[in-house]
Amino acid sequence: MADMISSHPEANFTVVINPASGPGPNALPDANYTREIPKLASYDNVRLLGYVPTTWAKRNISAVRRDIETYAAWPTNSSNPKLAVRGIFFDETPQEYDADALSYLQGLTSFVKGLSGLGPDNYIVHNPGAVPDSRYMSSADSTVVFEAAYDTFNERDGTKQFDVLPKSDRGRGQLCIVIHSVPDAVEGSNLRDLVKKLRKTADEIFITHLSTDYYANFGGKWGEFVDWMAK
């Protein structure tokens, strides 16, 4: 991945750090993470985010805050300012509106924004996996409005599914799209056209042809995808 990042300085990469469905039980992650995170953090075109599940805003809020605090303390605990994330990727955030869920997420936003160990960005991503109620959108800097297989994307009318978002919440910089299980035939000009279509909607895009372990590995067309994103 480092080679891809360094060879595409014009592309911005958001990397979600997930040692153990969160930061793990210890003050620092294992040696693989303590070695590689500072390397990634050294690139100007990389934003590192710490993974934190919310279980659809039902997870114990104290446990969520502990995870966030663990990430924020990495630079201090390691005595290495490069062993750091610049925000939080909240997974499993709700889609349907619920007043308690909104209060839950708003509280976490205030908590993240106030922690110096997550700066200077203190960036927040919500991942409901689909278009959420628009009232949640202002609690995040970016929202994953689609996370599913390529066939599901097409079954939901492609980018037309995002038309339900109010125009105020439809800025490219506010939206992220994740598509996995893309058929091998979607390559070359077909992959280019898919990337161009998605970029009209979202600033952050992840496409992979893998159908299993797609967040732990890179597919054979990963390089081609990055090439199109960099254009």
Q: Give the model confidence (pLDDT) of 78-87 as tens digits.
A: 999 999 999 9
| Mean pLDDT within 59-87 | 99
For residue 169, pLDDT beyond 80 = no
Percent of the chain with pLDDT over 90: 95
Q: pLDDT digit string (tens) for 94-149? A: 999 999 999 999 999 999 999 999 989 999 999 999 999 999 999 999 999 999 99
- Burial label for 194, CB within 10 Å (0-12, 13-18, 19+), is buried
Position 166 confidence tier, pLDDT thresholds 50, 70, 90: confident
Q: pLDDT digit string (tens) for 209-219? A: 999 999 999 99
Query: How high does pLDDT run on average in the chain?
Result: 97
> What is the per-residue pLDDT for 33?
98
> What is the per-residue pLDDT for 92?
99
d(CA 10, CA 47): 14
> What is the per-residue pLDDT for 165?
87
- Burial label for 144, CB within 10 Å (0-12, 13-18, 19+), is buried
Q: pLDDT digit string (tens) for 181-206? A: 999 999 999 999 999 999 999 999 99
> What is the per-residue pLDDT for 170?
73
Burial profile 2-26: b = 16 or more Cβ within 10 angstroms, e = fewer: eebbeebeeebbbbbbbbeebbeee
